[in-house]
Amino acid sequence: MRRTILFGIAIVFAFGALSTAGAAEKKLKVLLFTGGEIHDGKGIGDVIEGVLAKDERFAVTRVFNDLDCLVAPKLDPFDVIILHYTVGTISEAQKRGLMNAVASGKGFVGFHSTADSFRDDPDWRAFVGGHFITHPAYRQFQVSVTEEKSSITAGIAEFMITDEQYILDYDSRVRVLANGLFKGRAVPAIWTKPWGKGRVFYMSFGHDPNACKQEVFQTLLVRSILWAGKASGD
């Protein structure tokens, strides 16, 4: 009888260990990469890391400024790459490492200065889906959602956000999810696009740590990671 009980306990513990391992395996492995000039990449990274650390769906690795983290095969362990980097230059090995990884089926989440990374690089502009032109003063402005069926913007119709609004040139083939209001006209603020077998997300918000602390920014960020990692739908 005692052996039977011990055997049963062993099975329970083994099952529990397998369940825990399974839960860990289901976490999206996220690389959070920030850096570059002009913006506070470290402070922005601190806020983003704090948000994702509280969410049990993510396992986060953080890198600051070292673009060599993009060189193949260093991205192999990750499901989603988040990038906020301003200006700078990117080598061919770094660029191909990232773009090929996403094309193979990984997700990419870019925000704000991602549209001004590696300025004038045509490959980068094609990858992101657009690029920075100018911006008005840091202020509060209105954003209207145009794709409420997307899992990223579901249930959000419009909102006010305080940030540095980027005015962007963009590829008309991207799927625009939301527009910001600028001088009486709508300008793209959030979009998605495919890249090979992977998914690319971009939103223009996130100029500084305070902008990243806003609830709507954090909601969109978390949803975009789940979408890019294919943990949620279209």
Segment 136-163 shows an average pLDDT of 96
Q: What is the pLDDT of residue 17?
A: 44
pTM of the predicted model as reported, rounded to 2 decimal places? 0.89
The whole-number pLDDT of residue 23 equals 47
Q: Please give the pLDDT value at position 26.
A: 85
What is the identity of the amino acid at 131?
H
At residue 114, the 3 state secondary structure works out as helix
Domains of the chain: 25-132+190-228 (3.40.50.880)
Pairing of strands 158-163, 167-170: unpaired
CB 154 within 8 A of CB 128: no
Residue range 135-147: mean pLDDT, rounded: 97
> Do 64 and 41 contact (CB within 8 A), yes or no?
yes
Amino acid occupying residue 150: S
Give, in order, the Cα–Cα distances in Å from 2 to each of 8, 16, 90.
10, 21, 65
Q: What is the DSSP string of 48-62?
A: HHHHHHT-TTEEEEE
Q: Are strands 28-36 and 58-64 parallel, antiparallel or unpaired?
A: parallel
212-230 confidence digits (pLDDT tens): 999 999 999 999 999 999 9
Residue 152 and residue 220 in contact, taking contact as beta carbons nearer than 8 Å: yes
**Contacting residues for 154 by C-beta, under 8 A, at least 6 apart:** 148
pLDDT tens digits, 173-210: 999 999 999 999 999 999 999 999 999 999 999 999 99
User: What is the distance between the alpha carbons of residues 167 and 122, in angstroms, rounded to a whole number?
Assistant: 18
pLDDT value of position 195: 98
In tens, the pLDDT along 4-60 reads: 444 443 433 444 443 444 444 689 999 999 999 999 999 999 999 999 999 999 999
